[in-house]
Structure 1
């Protein structure tokens, strides 16, 4: 099929520190990580914002795979423990049938995770261009299939100000090993251009993927979309908007449909209108810098916002566009539904499940399937930890309905 591209170097020094036990320090690497993060956790809430974290900014961003600006300490440590365990199993306990080349492959994978070379999975196609800007690129991870297969498109989070498509590599296998092609994409950030730039970018990326569906053995009639935080909002806006295909356009990319089969969302905002957020979400989430930079306004000078700016904010708030023909949705939140956490921390507020439950109220009235999960009980926490498995089951069900 295609040749795997060589590993691109990424700064990810964490694994150099925590995947390999130190001979000089008695504590386990995971204990040291937990202790360090706990020291950073000045308010003792078990979570770290980027401002609280005293490590490299790039490390925080790599660990923050949901793109919501928060590291949950126990969850982060557990993730590292699991990664270390998987690598150790692959190397120290190979199967009895394993040949030397197979064992070497495991060791080579481990070595690729050292220092600056860590990538969970390499894309089959990397940095495919869909526009002129340097961030107009996406990566394609192919499932092994002879017949055209469905595709999941993942849009990274990061408050519209940071993030990278490579973060999606962490869970690409959940899809490709279950017969679903997988694409992660970049888009222009607020410092490059304010809204609607990032929304337009993601639509064009989707249309470009459809235009090249035959090349990658993608069934263009079965494409789902999703993302974390900012990526979840971009995904919703695409899914709830009318089809943006233009059969009369000179550009063949624009002939392609922008409609999707299903949505999978993590820690989603469902509106970007600060007035809606102020009304529904307790605390100061409505004042978020990310929203101000996305639309280009100053929360301290609201009386200067023009009618045209308000129209822009309303247009790109996804919940305003939900209709009865929109696709089924699956939403996961790693916060409880307790409104008090939104009052205590604006970052918890801007990722609060209230966004999802308000969307569900509207979806229920319209007859659109919308499932929302948070972490209010041990059972719900277990669901959150199984989110990728459940997402794949959900997608298979939705894709099957398209046949």
Structure 2
């Protein structure tokens, strides 16, 4: 009862201020309510099962205790500031050099007195196309070296119908502090244009980033991609697809490669084919509205779906494209591998680790390095909440290999 009342209270506090990542806020509220086992409205660091980085951001007075209603309000303020920073980005951001941008960021941190403060992009709303959502944010690596640094590209989730690149700012520091540039991209949602629009958008964004590598001191030979849910699928599709560079194009961006060094995936679907999902995932995840809107079909009239539509769905289902020369993969799921949870809840089904395990089966046959991490215990949840440390270590290994 206490947890339920706490959730209602926190939702009331957050509702006016949340401008992006509504589903992420819901998950945060639900999680911290569950952490408060004794129902006193407070959490110590030992009780908090989230990442240390987030606890530090929300513990504004530094006393080692989160008052939950204050933590919820702090989270709302952080999101509001991030949305405002993106909306008010200036031409100065586009004109400054990487070294000037990094210096400005470090000065801001010194003024704030917070090493772990959520960063603003060094280059905000960089355009890669004509649509309003054809933009990405660049966060520069913190390094004293003049050598080009590797890059991690993040694609947000949201069922192809919602979400924003600002969500990626939550963990930008995990990469930039370790010498890895970080880019978070937007793409057209399915209400703007159905598939293959979003896949083409993310491909173009990657090529645009490579085309500007010298401007941002980025090593275009060491680029990784990743994302959560829908973003994970978009990342896979690009990584598993043959190189889409058009070497004969008059457009220099189109001549850039689309191959990447590694993949970091959260709660990923590995197929978007409702027939495949129905066969492999218990429950009714295969009926998902998001997939119907993405590809433009009505599941209640499945017998009328054309062969051409089925071919399109297959062509944009990542698992169909995996080959032996594809990059290594790390997959993290915030769910148990128990198939029963998929049958009980379609949302758990569409994010179930079975997707990952099926990809791993094929990867193992092909000799592609693929690991899947699930949450079966409290200890596993703590490991999941420290996934960025694991991801960064993994990327550094891959990037070191690419240097050789």
Considering the TM-score relative to the shorter chain, is it more than 0.5? yes
Q: For the structure 1 residues 391 and 63, does the alpha-carbon distance in structure 2 shift closer, same or farther, using more than 3 Å as the test? A: farther
Which residue does 1:12 correspond to in 2?
Answer: none
- Write the distance in 2 (CA, Å) between the matches of 1:270 and 1:111: 31
Verify: 1:134 aligned to 2:132, yes or no: yes
Which residue does 1:208 correspond to in 2?
Answer: 208
| Other structure's SS at 2:233 match | helix
Q: For the structure 1 residues 399 and 311, does the alpha-carbon distance in structure 2 shift closer, same or farther, using more than 3 Å as the test? A: same
Which residue does 2:109 correspond to in 1?
Answer: none
Which residue does 1:35 correspond to in 2?
Answer: 5
User: Is residue 56–residue 62 contact of structure 2 (8 Å, CA) maintained in 1?
Assistant: no
| Other structure's SS at 1:265 match | strand
Q: For the structure 1 residues 59 and 112, does the alpha-carbon distance in structure 2 shift closer, same or farther, using more than 3 Å as the test? A: closer
TM-superposed CA distance for 1:38, in Å, is 6.6
Can you list the C-alpha shifts for 1:245-281, whole angstroms capped at 9, x where unaligned?
Answer: 0011111100000000000000000000000000000
Which residue does 2:275 correspond to in 1?
Answer: 275
| Other structure's SS at 1:182 match | strand
Q: CA RMSD in A?
A: 3.0
Verify: 1:117 aligned to 2:81, yes or no: yes
Which residue does 1:232 correspond to in 2?
Answer: 232
- Write the distance in 2 (CA, Å) between the matches of 1:84 and 1:259: 35
Q: For the structure 1 residues 112 and 57, does the alpha-carbon distance in structure 2 shift closer, same or farther, using more than 3 Å as the test? A: closer
| Other structure's SS at 1:117 match | helix
Which residue does 1:339 correspond to in 2?
Answer: 339
Task: Name which of structure 1's ranges 113-122 and 233-242 shifts more when overlaid on structure 2.
Answer: 113-122
- Write the distance in 1 (CA, Å) between the matches of 2:147 and 2:76: 32
TM-superposed CA distance for 1:73, in Å, is 1.6
Which residue does 1:298 correspond to in 2?
Answer: 298
Which residue does 2:288 correspond to in 1?
Answer: 288
- Write the distance in 2 (CA, Å) between the matches of 1:139 and 1:212: 13
Q: For the structure 1 residues 372 and 215, does the alpha-carbon distance in structure 2 shift closer, same or farther, using more than 3 Å as the test? A: same
Verify: 1:73 aligned to 2:30, yes or no: yes
Which residue does 2:263 correspond to in 1?
Answer: 263
| Other structure's SS at 1:225 match | strand
Q: For the structure 1 residues 53 and 238, does the alpha-carbon distance in structure 2 shift closer, same or farther, using more than 3 Å as the test? A: farther
Which residue does 1:198 correspond to in 2?
Answer: 198
TM-superposed CA distance for 1:296, in Å, is 0.1
Can you list the C-alpha shifts for 1:306-352, whole angstroms capped at 9, x where unaligned?
Answer: 11100100000000000000000000000000111001100000000
User: Is residue 70–residue 347 contact of structure 1 (8 Å, CA) maintained in 2?
Assistant: no
User: Is residue 127–residue 134 contact of structure 2 (8 Å, CA) maintained in 1?
Assistant: yes
Q: For the structure 1 residues 390 and 115, does the alpha-carbon distance in structure 2 shift closer, same or farther, using more than 3 Å as the test? A: closer
| Other structure's SS at 1:87 match | coil
User: Is residue 360–residue 372 contact of structure 2 (8 Å, CA) maintained in 1?
Assistant: yes
Can you list the C-alpha shifts for 1:205-244, whole angstroms capped at 9, x where unaligned?
Answer: 0000000000001000000000000000000000000000
Task: Name which of structure 1's ranges 70-79 and 237-246 shifts more when overlaid on structure 2.
Answer: 70-79
User: Is residue 38–residue 73 contact of structure 1 (8 Å, CA) maintained in 2?
Assistant: no
Can you list the C-alpha shifts for 1:110-142, whole angstroms capped at 9, x where unaligned?
Answer: 999479425721000000000010000000000
Which residue does 1:144 correspond to in 2?
Answer: 142
Task: Give structure 1 stretches of 5+ with no counterpart.
Answer: 1-30, 41-51, 92-109
Q: For the structure 1 residues 84 and 398, does the alpha-carbon distance in structure 2 shift closer, same or farther, using more than 3 Å as the test? A: closer
Q: For the structure 1 residues 167 and 112, does the alpha-carbon distance in structure 2 shift closer, same or farther, using more than 3 Å as the test? A: closer
- Write the distance in 1 (CA, Å) between the matches of 2:77 and 2:27: 24
User: Is residue 18–residue 80 contact of structure 2 (8 Å, CA) maintained in 1?
Assistant: no
User: Is residue 17–residue 76 contact of structure 2 (8 Å, CA) maintained in 1?
Assistant: no
Q: For the structure 1 residues 380 and 136, does the alpha-carbon distance in structure 2 shift closer, same or farther, using more than 3 Å as the test? A: same
- Write the distance in 2 (CA, Å) between the matches of 1:251 and 1:191: 28
TM-superposed CA distance for 1:59, in Å, is 3.2
TM-superposed CA distance for 1:380, in Å, is 2.1
Which residue does 1:153 correspond to in 2?
Answer: 153
- Write the distance in 2 (CA, Å) between the matches of 1:243 and 1:398: 19
Can you list the C-alpha shifts for 1:348-397, whole angstroms capped at 9, x where unaligned?
Answer: 00000000000000000000000100001233222201100100000001
Which residue does 1:56 correspond to in 2?
Answer: 15
Q: For the structure 1 residues 241 and 39, does the alpha-carbon distance in structure 2 shift closer, same or farther, using more than 3 Å as the test? A: same
Task: Give structure 2 stretches of 5+ with no counterpart.
Answer: 36-47, 65-73, 84-117
Give the number of equivalent residue pairs.
343
TM-superposed CA distance for 1:62, in Å, is 2.6
TM-superposed CA distance for 1:88, in Å, is 1.9
- Write the distance in 2 (CA, Å) between the matches of 1:357 and 1:160: 23
Task: Name which of structure 1's ranges 370-379 and 212-221 shifts more when overlaid on structure 2.
Answer: 370-379
